[in-house]
């Protein structure tokens, strides 16, 4: 079993990013990412994104560095790779499963329950529909991070958080932890329920 990384060469947020994978299991990958000090939110279905500033941590954790092509071939052999054409469907399945775990009647565009993985980004203003939002809650009762382009989105995010907290507490947990992306009016609180009652990644 080996954990592999390629050279960071994909720009985002002013940094260059690479991929970290396991050739054996996601359990091995999560454990290695934790040893490297990577945030669990950096997980993206079959790999972790890592910034070039973390290379020393990856080296110290025993990660083996390979070319982008070798990394992709190893991921294909492992059976863990989620191809680009299947990634949207994989996120949709994850969202549906996590919504079912919470007993939600409405299903957001993208939902991640727990600390591992991330919802898709909020589209820029002018591309996102009115009332769209992205919500992150890293600890129950903590201060949420809300991304929205209008007051309607900010209000919908607060209503969504109240709904998710209520459903999570109904299942014996202290409150919601995770991320939500909502781009559809039908996936927001008030549409069907209320607070009372969304390469390795196409680059490799």
The model's pTM is: 0.86
| Residue 177: other Cβ atoms inside 10 A | 20
Rounded (10°) CA dihedral 46, 52, 53, 56 = 80
pLDDT of residue 182: 97
Q: Tens of pLDDT along the chain (204 residues)? A: 699 999 999 999 899 999 999 999 999 999 999 999 999 999 999 999 999 999 999 999 999 999 999 999 999 999 999 999 999 999 999 999 999 999 999 899 999 999 999 999 999 999 999 999 999 999 998 999 999 999 999 999 999 999 999 999 999 999 999 999 999 876 656 554 433 333 454 444
Sign of the torsion angle spanned by Cα atoms 96, 179, 165, 34:
positive
DSSP assigned state of 174: S
What are the domain boundaries of the chain?
A: 3-78, 85-187
Contact 37, 47 (CB under 8 A): no
Query: d(Cα 4, Cα 176) in Å, to the nearest integer?
Result: 33
Contact 95, 198 (CB under 8 A): yes
């Amino acid at each position: 079993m080996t954990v592999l990384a390629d050279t960071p060469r994909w720009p985002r947020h002013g940094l260059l990013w690479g991929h970290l994978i396991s050739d054996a299991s996601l359990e091995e990958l999560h454990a290695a990412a934790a040893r490297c000090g990577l945030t669990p939110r950096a997980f993206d279905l079959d790999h972790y994104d890592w910034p070039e500033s973390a290379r020393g941590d990856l080296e110290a954790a025993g990660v083996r560095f390979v070319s982008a092509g070798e990394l992709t071939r190893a991921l294909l052999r492992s059976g863990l790779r989620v191809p680009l054409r299947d990634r949207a469907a994989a996120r949709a399945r994850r969202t549906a499963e996590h919504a079912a775990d919470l007993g939600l009647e409405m299903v957001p565009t993208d939902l991640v329950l727990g600390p591992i993985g991330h919802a898709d980004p909020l589209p820029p203003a002018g591309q996102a529909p009115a009332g769209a939002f992205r919500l992150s809650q890293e600890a129950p009762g903590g201060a949420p991070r809300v991304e929205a382009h209008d007051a309607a989105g900010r209000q919908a995010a607060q209503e969504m958080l109240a709904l998710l907290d209520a459903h999570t507490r109904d299942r014996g947990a202290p409150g919601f932890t995770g991320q939500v992306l909502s781009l559809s009016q039908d996936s927001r609180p008030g549409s069907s329920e209320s607070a009372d009652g969304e390469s390795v990644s196409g680059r490799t």
